[in-house]
Structure 1
């Protein structure tokens, strides 16, 4: 019977960067052991695995796992990967509390708790921001991973100084090597120039002021067209609406909004690669354009986006100049290069499982608290809709 590897992340949720991370992680697992079956969390917005396999030159046929409702007393989440011989846990947006006070529990709830214990590797993981509660809780718990590789220096500092974890650095899954393997290449010189723009709605970022900024960059760089790429489109979500507002205020300039769809991942990446200059707010738009040496005017809204350009985090900041991405030192390994040797050791029983797990009492309390927050928020949205 072939071994099964689980992958926990934000796959197939309508986010371009998270889908790239998922593909890179699945490919790294299959490259390590061609006989493995990979099971991954899926939010239902499927990508074209056949087309991706053809580009990478490796057969990928992972099995999607749809998460269920984690109500108080439920074991559904932790049983999702109970048949796995090893689990990979990675990407951004998992251990942070920007959008929900119990996001860390949501993702940690998928880690198997049964005996014999399943080894878990956190790789290409970003941390924070974390509330005081979760900083204290994760310090008390200890690391929920047997090995932990974080993708940026700020995450390492948070883990070591605030959480007391032993961690190491690796690069993001989405790097120049991976994008080259995926066939994402710069457009041919001499073609018409276009400004690529990747935004997200964020408190303090005004649509009118952003449109003026984009217009100034377009004018200064003499581009022929502006292409807005919405990397987290979902079903016409807030980033789509905000981007459309910015686009509409550019007036008569040739401007188009391109929302991401998982099934069109390769076409979306190719369209981004055709841009000759960029205004980039999203981490993985910056990663793609950096891999293609496209000059960027960053908009930083979080420590991870500031760190990508080697800047200190100063809150929301719109840069009026081109910044070069920070370059990792040679000793920092690629995420994919971390996966292969660890997975071979894990599948041969050579990884000693020491990770911390939530107790039954902890799990029940967090399930109850998270459910209460969700009900309260849904009720608030319902009342707001009724009034309008």
Structure 2
């Protein structure tokens, strides 16, 4: 009898700490209840150390990466990548949004097989939005692409139900206190000294380097910390968060250290964050880690998801000069990881009722063509910008006429 297989479609191994934690939590949730099932996951090429992670979790994890490759118009490469799986999970994280690319939702929809009988698909631990009007209308026309869907926050649920017309349920984020404890991420005891301020930022319109430096310096002084560590959770090559964090680090002076994330060092990076005694946090999963460990947090909120984490209404970019505790989830809201195991069991037994909508072939081709055109345009723009910088550097080295 052939081995059953489950696919995990997520932003895994993309040099993003939060999304790597989600990927690991998803793989672990599958393996915990179904260790005889092969697990495949979407990888963006910055591998984590699965051996070290398996040891930490006490689970035998040997998932198989499926490398991301861009589609050309007419291609079925993404659809076929997980087409022979017996069940698919999509999530978690904020996958369905249009903040960074006008067709990001298509990236994830492209991996859902169209053939019948349909492969069962669970959306779990997902955040929705912000979505353009175009994609809101498209997803409403399409209907839910999931047989069952669990979203990680109330704002996402409201968007799904009111704007998209989807039937959804609530769950908690994959990265919670229980998962971090299983991974062995704990605050050290009896460290002594005057403490360490942890900072996690992202470049965002309206957040300027100078005011951010002064804000962090005031908190460091008032909290009596003697060192500052600026953690860059999304540290891909030439990423905007890296340069912004480095500028802030330079502004803070010699007592600040900038620590960029690398997937191969995930456990060490998390352990370093756990040693902080107070934090300034802008990223959702830095807040999740520090909040789970009881570290006092001065939030910087830039999106509905970061405001919701602290139980605050979203009013645009907000820099808080006070400590806020994380919002307490109702006991009735299940953990994302606890949703996965039973659903996988039902899916492999053929007990999940088919309900998901499938993207029509003509619509898929239109989105492939449009996405390719946008990607080419952006790549040309980056090339021209880099060429302009290089020409300027050469000109600066030439003697004056």
- The alpha carbon displacement at 1:327 in A equals 0.6
Aligned match of 2:89: 88
Aligned match of 2:304: 303
String of CA shifts for 1:294-322, please: whole Å, max 9, x gaps: 00000000000000000111111100000
- The alpha carbon displacement at 1:190 in A equals 4.3
CA–CA distance in structure 2, aligned partners of residues 22 and 184 of structure 1: 16
CA–CA distance in structure 2, aligned partners of residues 264 and 112 of structure 1: 34
CA–CA distance in structure 2, aligned partners of residues 84 and 210 of structure 1: 47
Say yes or no: does 1:194 pair with 2:196: yes
Q: Note if contact 1:281-1:300 (Cα within 8 Å) is conserved in structure 2.
A: yes
CA–CA distance in structure 1, aligned partners of residues 256 and 320 of structure 2: 21
CA–CA distance in structure 2, aligned partners of residues 385 and 224 of structure 1: 39
- The alpha carbon displacement at 1:69 in A equals 2.1
Aligned match of 2:157: 156
- The alpha carbon displacement at 1:236 in A equals 4.2
Say yes or no: does 1:209 pair with 2:219: no
CA–CA distance in structure 2, aligned partners of residues 82 and 153 of structure 1: 32
Q: Note if contact 1:145-1:356 (Cα within 8 Å) is conserved in structure 2.
A: yes
Aligned match of 1:78: 79
- What secondary structure sits across from 1:71 in the alignment? coil
CA–CA distance in structure 2, aligned partners of residues 190 and 135 of structure 1: 50
String of CA shifts for 1:34-72, please: whole Å, max 9, x gaps: 100000000110000010000000100000001222110
> Runs in 1 of length 4+ with deviation above 4 angstroms?
none
- What secondary structure sits across from 1:6 in the alignment? strand
CA–CA distance in structure 1, aligned partners of residues 234 and 10 of structure 2: 15
Matches within 5 A, 1:108-257: 108-192=109-193, 193-252=195-254, 254-257=255-258
String of CA shifts for 1:266-310, please: whole Å, max 9, x gaps: 000000000000000000000000110000000000000000000
CA–CA distance in structure 2, aligned partners of residues 2 and 327 of structure 1: 40
Q: Note if contact 2:150-2:168 (Cα within 8 Å) is conserved in structure 1.
A: yes
CA–CA distance in structure 2, aligned partners of residues 190 and 386 of structure 1: 50
Larger Rg: 2
- The alpha carbon displacement at 1:255 in A equals 1.1
Q: Which residues of structure 2 form unaligned runs of 5+?
A: 390-401
Q: Which residues of structure 1 form unaligned runs of 5+?
A: none
Say yes or no: does 1:359 pair with 2:360: yes
Greater alpha carbon shift after TM alignment, 157-166 vs 28-37? 28-37
Aligned match of 1:4: 5
CA–CA distance in structure 2, aligned partners of residues 310 and 206 of structure 1: 25
Q: Note if contact 2:103-2:367 (Cα within 8 Å) is conserved in structure 1.
A: yes
Q: Note if contact 1:187-1:275 (Cα within 8 Å) is conserved in structure 2.
A: no
User: Normalised by the size of structure 2, how large is the TM-score?
Assistant: 0.95
Matches within 5 A, 1:34-53: 34-53=35-54
CA–CA distance in structure 1, aligned partners of residues 388 and 263 of structure 2: 35
Aligned match of 2:261: 260
- What secondary structure sits across from 1:352 in the alignment? coil
- What secondary structure sits across from 1:10 in the alignment? strand
